[in-house]
Amino acid sequence: MPSPFRVGLGHDTHRLEPGNGLVLGGVMIEHDRRAVGHSDADVLLHAITDAILGAAAIGDIGELFPDTDPANRGRDSADMLRVAAARVAEAGWRIENLDCVIFAQRPKILPHRAAIRQRVAEVLGIDTDAVWLKAKTGEGVGPIGRQEAIAAECVALLAQDS
């Protein structure tokens, strides 16, 4: 019998440049840098999108929303996540929980954790308790530590929706 549970992993990186804020988990955070990307460059929502799509084995974010398609330029990542979540639900899966990590030297993410968890849960229509978020600096080394990049990872657990 196939397993009633599936795990998925998502990872994403965006380049940083001087600017006026980051969108993380659908929440605008004041900062002296911005993330560069074809969409709104929400690295956390992109990692979450790939985690749930991977768990359901139905593609990845680049396949669903190619960056060659002008329709995806500046697109709201929450909108892409909603579409991905709908596909996951159509495939017969329910999101049990997400556990995420943001890799950023700055800004401090913890003060924004509650707002981000709430927003992600709202976009997915799941309990805030089912979304956890952590953050790590780059310890001052590498592209994360030098604030040249921001990254995020997410693991998602899906359960068969019977």
Q: Does 13 bind ligand CDP (CB under 6 A)?
A: no
* Residue 151 and residue 45 in contact, taking contact as beta carbons nearer than 8 Å: no
Closest CA to 154 of 126, 130, 138: 130
Of 105, 109, 92, 26, nearest in space to 55 by CA: 92
Q: Work out whether 12 is an interface residue with Zn ion (CB under 5 A).
A: yes
C-alpha distance from residue 27 to each of 22, 38, 43, 59, 88 (Å) = 8, 18, 11, 26, 23
50 binds Zn ion (CB under 5 A): no
At which residue do the structure tokens 């749930």 appear?
52
Residue from 72, 97, 118, 137 binding ligand CDP (CB under 6 A): 137
Binding flag, residue 109, ligand CDP (CB under 6 A): yes
* Residue closer to Zn ion (CB basis): 65 or 160: 65
For position 84 contacting ligand CDP by CB under 6 A, the verdict is no
Question: Whole-angstrom Cα distance, residue 143 to residue 162?
Answer: 44
CA 44 to chain centre: 3
Shortest Cβ 103–ligand CDP spacing (Å): 8
Contact of residue 137 among Zn ion, ligand CDP, none (CB under 5-8 Å per partner type) = ligand CDP
Selected binder of ligand CDP within 84, 104, 151, 154 (CB under 6 A) = 104
Task: For Zn ion, give the closer residue by CB, 28 or 159.
Answer: 28
Contact positions vs Zn ion (CB under 5 A): 12, 46
Contact positions vs ligand CDP (CB under 6 A): 104, 108-110, 135-137
